[in-house]
Amino acid sequence: MRSSRIPGFYKRTVEERRELLQEALELSEDDLSVLTSQEALPIDTADKMIENVIGTFPLPLGLGLNFLINGKDYIIPMVVEEPSIVASASHIAKIVRDAGGFKTEASDRVMIGQIQVVGCPDFDAAKNVLLEAKNELMEAANAAYPSIVARGGGARDLDVRILNDSPDSSYGTMLVLHLYIDTCDAMGANIINTMVESLAPTVEELTAGKVYLRILSNLADRCIAKATCVIPPKLLATGEYSGEEVRDGVVHAFEFADSDPYRAVTHNKGIMNGIDPVVIATGNDWRAVEAGAHAYASRFGSYRSMTKWSVDQEGNLVGELELPMSIGTVGGAIRVHPISQLAHKVLNIESASELAQIIVAVGLAQNLGALKALVTDGIQKGHMALHSRSVAIAAGATGEMIDIIAEQLVKLKEIRVGKAKELVEQYSK
Ligand SMILES: CC(C)(COP(=O)([O-])OP(=O)([O-])OC[C@H]1O[C@@H](n2cnc3c(N)ncnc32)[C@H](O)[C@@H]1OP(=O)([O-])[O-])[C@@H](O)C(=O)NCCC(=O)NCCSC(=O)C[C@@](C)(O)CC(=O)[O-]
Ligand SMILES: NC(=O)C1=CN([C@@H]2O[C@H](COP(=O)(O)OP(=O)(O)OC[C@H]3O[C@@H](n4cnc5c(N)ncnc54)[C@H](O)[C@@H]3O)[C@@H](O)[C@H]2O)C=CC1
């Protein structure tokens, strides 16, 4: 692939951008045809994906540019309705690229299946008996889904916990079995749920209890991806703000988020601004990723910042983001949605682990984009300037009028629908 650095891409027309993408990735007309067809998601396909279908709901698909991750260039498809996100990710990726790019890593792709057991006559004895039967249970789980074992995955470990066993607990005591499963390139819901459901009768027999829930856990804390970046302050200088001022502002912003859940939620929303669009574009389950990410942000006992920003001995800004990343490159809607298939082609990835690492790099970039704006000019300048186009459309502007009205709103520093309506009326006259 050619470089993901395509300066001024955003100044081109949609048509020109498609041509540039085709050139950069050597895509065929056929690959791109999904973008120009009347129905990007054919209604017959949509009707098979969910229930009670009456139509489809299109969202913009943009490209995050400039990403250099572990020395490899990536063009990143992002599906999102909010303006300035794609610009901001590309803006920070450009800065980090000049600092050597993002470095990422990932754990093994081990997901968790849970089995809930209640009513055991002796919970400690039940726990011991399950642990003693660990190998047999893992073998039985693998036998329930042999194809994942053939791909090199399958059950890896098993653990048992007892919940609510203190006398003052207001809930009933229960035993929870965790089955740890390597799901290879799948998110793995199907694999995990099949395995835990298959074990339930044996677990009931061994524990003399009753099994209720048999389902994966979205707190996928053994399926982790991590991104880091190290940025010399000179690359952060913005307008009248020195690089050191921006760097220190970002660290203060992190400390604020890490100490205060009210701020942490907004800070982390800014991270998910980058993560969700890639998860959606690649046909993955964003509710699963969201739920896992927020729970992971609370793992030390309170809800905290997902990212960490600090200064190293050379005075560089150091950013880190580590999250559970239960995504896949096969399964679910991934091979069903035609645009998701194109997104995977554009990303040019080999595995779910590679995709997970890209996603956390985008989340880290997105966080820095928002913080850099917040500690300098404020969010309104960059974000609202781009949002002004949506405001103009909401006020009834069409065609060439959209950019003209949007520019006037920015100039007047009044980016609101009421003002836009006045301008649309004047323009129409
Ligand atoms: C918007 C920018 C990037 C402008 O920033 P800028 O400094 O004017 O950008 P620039 O003109 O120097 O351009 C630098 C690069 O940015 C990209 N870029 C620049 N402009 C565009 C554009 N129009 N379309 C596409 N890409 C764009 C592009 O890659 C460009 O490189 P080039 O191609 O020129 O070589 C900046 O102001 C920014 O990042 N703002 C923050 C935006 C943001 O975070 N939005 C999220 C919504 S707010 C929110 O929901 C989260 C929040 C804020 O609450 C989270 C929190 O509180 O932590
Ligand atoms: N709590 C949750 O998060 C839940 C999520 N889901 C949904 O499950 C879907 C994801 O399900 P999956 O089980 O991942 O999809 P899936 O079952 O459709 O795909 C996995 C299949 O792909 C096959 N496969 C082919 N190549 C593979 C490779 N290289 N690595 C691994 N498997 C390979 C496997 O044999 C497996 O049968 C998402 O749409 C999600 O919304 C469903 C239930 C609960």
Under the banding of pLDDT at 50, 70 and 90, the label for residue 427 is: confident
Residue 413 has a pLDDT of 86
CATH number at residue 166: 3.30.70.420
Last residue within a domain, chosen from 159, 190, 217: 217
Residue 429 has a pLDDT of 79
Look at the block and give the residue holding tokens 């079995």: 177
Q: Whose CA is nearest to atom 38 of ligand 2?
A: 332
Residue 1 confidence (pLDDT) above 70 = no
What mean pLDDT comes out for the span 55-84? Answer: 97
Let me know how long the chain is: 429
Q: Whose CA is nearest to atom 12 of ligand 1?
A: 91
CATH number at residue 363: 3.90.770.10
Rounded CA separation 155/92 (Å): 40
Catalytic, out of 39, 165, 252, 269: 269
3-state DSSP call for residue 331?
coil
CA of 404 to the centre of ligand 1 (A): 20
Burial of 15 (0-12, 13-18, 19+ CB in 10 A): exposed
Q: Are residues 131 and 195 in the same domain?
A: yes
Residue 42 has a pLDDT of 92
CA of 88 to the centre of ligand 1 (A): 3
| Containing structural domain, residue 398 | 382-428
Nearest to 326 by CA among 364, 284, 295, 361: 284
Q: Are residues 370 and 257 in the same domain?
A: yes
Q: Catalytic site residue 11? A: no
Residue 384 has a pLDDT of 81
Q: What is the dihedral of CA 87, 89, 92, 98, to 10 degrees?
A: -100
Please indicate, yes or no, if residue 1 is contained in any of the structural domains. Answer: no
Q: Is the CB of 333 under 6 A from ligand 2?
A: yes
- Dump pLDDT digits (tens) for 385-410: 888 989 999 999 998 899 999 999 88
What mean pLDDT comes out for the span 69-97? Answer: 97
How many domains does the structure of the chain reveal? 3
Q: Catalytic site residue 381? A: no
Q: Are residues 48 and 87 in the same domain?
A: yes
- Dump pLDDT digits (tens) for 218-232: 999 999 999 999 999
Q: Is the CB of 352 under 6 A from ligand 2?
A: no
Q: Are residues 228 and 361 in the same domain?
A: yes
- Dump pLDDT digits (tens) for 258-292: 999 999 999 999 999 999 999 999 999 999 999 99
Q: Are residues 60 and 119 in the same domain?
A: no
Residue 123 CB partners (closer than 8 Å, separation 6+): 162, 165, 173, 175
Q: Are residues 86 and 186 in the same domain?
A: no
Q: Whose CA is nearest to atom 16 of ligand 2?
A: 331
pTM: 0.95
What mean pLDDT comes out for the span 239-244? Answer: 96
Helix or strand run (H / E) with residue 373: helix 352-374
Please indicate, yes or no, if residue 172 is contained in any of the structural domains. Answer: yes
Last residue within a domain, chosen from 192, 217, 242: 217
Joined tokens for residue 390: 């949506």
Q: Are residues 229 and 169 in the same domain?
A: no
Q: pLDDT exceeding 70 applies to what percent of the chain?
A: 100
Residue 122 CB partners (closer than 8 Å, separation 6+): none
- Dump pLDDT digits (tens) for 43-55: 999 999 999 999 9
Under the banding of pLDDT at 50, 70 and 90, the label for residue 39 is: confident
Q: Is the CB of 187 under 6 A from ligand 2?
A: yes
CA of 45 to the centre of ligand 2 (A): 18
Q: Are residues 232 and 357 in the same domain?
A: yes
Ligand nearest to the CA of 89: 1
Q: Are residues 232 and 313 in the same domain?
A: yes
| DSSP code string of 170-214 | SS--EEEEEEEEE-TTB--HHHHHHHHHHHHHHHHHHHTSEEEEE
Q: Which residues line ligand 1 (CB under 6 A)?
A: 7-10, 65-66, 82, 84-88, 90-91, 94, 266-267, 269-270, 273, 369-371, 373-374, 379, 382-383, 386
What mean pLDDT comes out for the span 374-378? Answer: 95
Q: Is the CB of 103 under 6 A from ligand 2?
A: no
Q: Are residues 242 and 334 in the same domain?
A: yes
- Do residues 6 and 73 touch, judged by C-beta distance below 8 A? no
Please indicate, yes or no, if residue 56 is contained in any of the structural domains. Answer: yes
Q: Whose CA is nearest to atom 4 of ligand 2?
A: 189
Nearest to 176 by CA among 125, 221, 211, 218: 211
Residue 335 confidence (pLDDT) above 90 = no
Please indicate, yes or no, if residue 157 is contained in any of the structural domains. Answer: yes
Last residue within a domain, chosen from 377, 404, 419: 377
- Dump pLDDT digits (tens) for 133-181: 999 999 999 999 999 999 999 999 999 999 999 999 999 999 999 999 9
Residue 36 has a pLDDT of 86
Joined tokens for residue 319: 């950013």
- Do residues 115 and 211 touch, judged by C-beta distance below 8 A? yes
14 pairs with which residues across the strands? none
Residue among 147, 149, 190, 195 whose CB has most ligand 2 atoms within 8 A, to mutate: 190
DSSP state of 381: I
- Dump pLDDT digits (tens) for 184-205: 999 999 999 999 999 999 999 9
ipTM of the complex: 0.94
CA of 199 to the centre of ligand 1 (A): 50
Please indicate, yes or no, if residue 81 is contained in any of the structural domains. Answer: yes
Q: Catalytic site residue 383? A: yes
Nearest to 136 by CA among 198, 89, 213, 192: 198
Residue among 80, 82, 90 whose CB has most ligand 1 atoms within 8 A, to mutate: 90
Q: pLDDT exceeding 90 applies to what percent of the chain?
A: 89
